């Protein structure tokens, strides 16, 4: 697995052959794969099981952005716990009667989002969301590469033990490597790789740029 640039590839499109080709080609070269809800629904749990059998390495994440009450979260977790190492849920739903259904050691909480509408509610409630994250101390959190100040805020709040995963690289505007420089542990890249004419070439280009950016910011420190 590549440690120079810890990158997780987001697979969202419900296209089984595309997903198989990306996983087959990038297995061992990336830190893991994040499986979005459309992929999970579209190719089904059996399809995901077969996908994972193509690559036993790295981190596999079920990105359900789960945001429901206890009994629904529990049933959902039971369905994906054998095919993914971690599950993504929203911190904003709170702990009691909701997130307490999920084991913190296998949980990644959305602390902030990368789109513009995140300013309408989530960002304005950041202190409350952070309180939920801080009390649960999940394995990891999601904080957007498009806003490095949010990454820095959560890093200083949570210390080094909690992993920070940052989407928003590429199509959404952030430069490869920039979230790592701001303190993230992994960058999540989706469409810039998966929807490129050649996903491998796209990966290599992003990888080169990220390594350059990261070595530059690390030399400054």
Residue whose tokens read 């296209």: 15
Q: Which of 93, 157, 211, 217 binds a copy of itself (CB under 8 A)?
A: 93
Q: Are 119 and 146 in contact (CB under 8 A)?
A: no
Could you say whether residue 158 binds a copy of itself (CB under 8 A)? no
Is beta strand 59-66 parallel, antiparallel or unpaired with respect to 32-36?
parallel
11 binds a copy of itself (CB under 8 A): no
Pick the stretch among 95-103, 151-159, 173-181, 203-211 that binds a copy of itself (CB under 8 A).
Answer: 95-103
Does 166 sit near a copy of itself (CB under 8 A)?
no
Binding pattern to a copy of itself, positions 126-145, x when CB under 8 A? Answer: --xx-xx-------------
Residue 110: other Cβ atoms inside 10 A: 25
Q: Which of residues 27-86 bind a copy of itself (CB under 8 A)?
A: 36-38, 40-42, 44-45, 64-72, 75-76, 78-80
Catalytic center residues: 65
Question: How near is the Cβ of 19 to a copy of itself at its closest, in Å?
Answer: 13
Question: What DSSP designation does 174 have?
Answer: B
Smallest CA-to-CA distance from 62 within 51, 71, 70, 54 is with: 51
CB of 179 to a copy of itself, least distance (A): 16
Cα angle for residues 144, 145, 147 (degrees, 5° grid): 75
Among left, alpha and beta (phi > 0; psi -120 to 50; other), residue 94 is left
Indicate whether 157 belongs to the interface with a copy of itself (CB under 8 A). no
Here's the x/- map for a copy of itself, 172-211, by CB under 8 A: it reads as -------------------x--------------------
Minimum CB–partner distance for residue 28 and a copy of itself (Å): 26
For residue 49, count other CB atoms closer than 10 A to its CB.
12
Q: Scan for tokens 């929203």, then name that residue.
A: 90
- What are the backbone angles phi and psi of residue 94, rounded to the nearest 5°? 85, 170
Query: What angle do the packed helices 148-158 and 126-136 form, to 10 degrees?
Result: 40
Helix (H, G, I), strand (E, B) or coil at 89: strand
Q: How many residues bind a copy of itself (CB under 8 A)?
A: 54
Return the residue of 125, 204, 215, 216 that touches a copy of itself, per CB under 8 A: 125
- Footprint of a copy of itself (CB under 8 A): 12-14, 36-38, 40-42, 44-45, 64-72, 75-76, 78-80, 90-100, 110, 113-122, 124-125, 128-129, 131-132, 191
């Amino acid at each position: 697995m590549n440690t120079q640039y810890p990158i997780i590839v987001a697979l969202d499109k419900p296209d089984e052959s595309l997903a198989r080709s990306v996983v087959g080609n990038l297995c061992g070269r990336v830190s893991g794969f994040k499986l979005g809800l459309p992929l999970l629904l579209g190719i089904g749990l059996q399809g995901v099981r077969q996908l994972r059998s193509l690559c036993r390495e790295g981190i596999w994440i079920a990105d359900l952005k789960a945001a429901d009450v206890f009994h629904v979260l529990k049933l959902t977790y039971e369905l994906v716990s054998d095919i993914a190492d971690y599950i993504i849920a929203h911190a904003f739903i709170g702990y009691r009667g909701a997130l307490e259904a999920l084991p913190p050691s296998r949980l990644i909480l959305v602390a902030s989002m990368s789109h513009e509408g995140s300013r309408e509610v989530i960002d304005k409630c950041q202190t409350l969301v952070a309180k939920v994250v801080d009390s649960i101390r999940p394995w990891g959190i999601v904080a957007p590469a498009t806003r490095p100040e949010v990454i820095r805020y959560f890093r200083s709040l949570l210390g080094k033990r909690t992993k920070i995963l940052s989407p928003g690289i590429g199509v959404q505007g952030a430069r490869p490597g920039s979230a790592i420089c701001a303190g993230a542990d992994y960058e999540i890249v989706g469409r810039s790789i998966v929807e490129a004419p050649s996903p491998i070439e796209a990966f290599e280009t992003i990888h080169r740029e990220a390594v350059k950016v990261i070595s530059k910011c690390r030399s400054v420190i």
